[in-house]
Chain A
Amino acid sequence: LAKTTQPISMDSYEGQEVNITCSHNNIATNDYITWYQQFPSQGPRFIIQGYKTKVTNEVASLFIPADRKSSTLSLPRVSLSDTAVYYCLVGARSYNTDKLIFGTGTRLQVFP
């Protein structure tokens, strides 16, 4: 599984857009990029998954450049409730035999 590198922590203010970048230089051809969010005292929650270019859902956008060696999770207009740890993971989409290996994650703190 490709190793990922992301900032340990980030601070933001309510209403701002937050972009969290993840590096995955050794990503394989069949690997997808997936982001999870974890609140205190809860298990991680799936946010978004993508393979290339841009993916958008009701929660976030995921930008993946052509070389796929990095990706950026974009959270529009964050609120206090977006304070959480965000994990970037890289692996095959099938997941039938693949296991999720979590990196350090990025601890996002949103201030009023």
Chain B
Amino acid sequence: SAVISQKPSRDICQRGTSLTIQCQVDSQVTMMFWYRQQPGQSLTLIATANQGSEATYESGFVIDKFPISRPNLTFSTLTVSNMSPEDSSIYLCSAAETGDNLSNYGYTFGSGTRLTVV
């Protein structure tokens, strides 16, 4: 199955600044997703990163706050803009292979970026 490298693993940022999180996959994948997870909570989908087109955002998330890039089939970035303490969370990227791999490996997730905004 695909392997994802996500960085940074953690960061402490000042309010009002922006942080870009990178997600690198070791193989070409069709779909990539970005999630947010509050400590002790489940994952909430932020957006689907589409290669060659704009990301598709879920309700409650907007492009100005969470701009996403997907320049090719192995890489994506999520930027958390104009951060406030409420943005403190764990951000995870995920990649989906296609075909029979899904029945064996499912979706692959990065290890997450723990963001603290002070």
Which residues from chain A sit less than 8 Å from chain B, CB to CB?
A: 34, 36, 41-46, 49, 87, 93-97, 99-105
Contact = CB atoms under 8 A, between A and B. Distances in A.
A43 B102 contact: no
Interface of B: 1, 4, 30-31, 33, 35, 42-45, 48, 92, 94, 96, 98, 102-103, 105-112, 114
B102 A49 contact: yes
Nearest to A101: B45
B42 A45 contact: no
B102 A99 contact: no
Contacts, number: 60
B96 A102 contact: no
B42 A43 contact: no
A35 B96 CA distance: 15
Contact of B33 (A94, A100, A105): A100
A51 B15 CA distance: 46
